[in-house]
A = this chain, B = another copy of it.
Amino acid sequence: MPRSTFYKHRIAFADCDPAQIVFFANYFKWFDTSGFEFFVACGVPPWRDTAQKGGIIGTPLVKATATFVNSATYGEDVVIESWVAEWRTKSFVMRHVARRGDTILAEGEDIRVFAIMDPAQPTRIKAVPIPPAIRALCE
């Protein structure tokens, strides 16, 4: 079983929509935050530090999927578990499970790459192969 980390969030009034439940896109945001905190917990420096040195600016998504199993609302606590399910050459797969207590609220799967600012087009980004040093920290 790969290493996993947990990120907790108290659901805010503003996270919910007129149907009184969490607006679904917030799960994607929380999965992203949980994935970021996974790297930090593994000892990877925050992207702003690596970006300063012309390095990794983040792990942009190639594909994101989520299934929504149970609804949740404000004042409830959601805990996201995140881990790297698969390392490929140029991309990696993260999985996320959002739970309220024992109840699964949503499950996510991301395909992500590591990116740097594109030297050829400074306002665009560019994927690079998985940095071995980062992978080693996360396994």
Binding site for B on A (CB under 8 A): 7, 10, 12-14, 16-21, 23-26, 28-29, 32-33, 36-37, 40, 46-49, 51-52, 57-58, 60-68, 71, 73-75, 115, 117, 122-125
Contacts and interface: CB of A to CB of B under 8 A. Distances in A.
Contact of A47 (B18, B24, B26, B115): B18
A14 B25 contact: yes
Nearest to A26: B25
12 contacts: A10-B33, A12-B32, A13-B33, A13-B47, A17-B17, A19-B47, A20-B123, A40-B75, A46-B74, A52-B123, A63-B67, A71-B125
Q: Is the interface of A mostly helix, strand, loop or mixed?
A: mixed
Contact of A60 (B61, B62, B71): B71
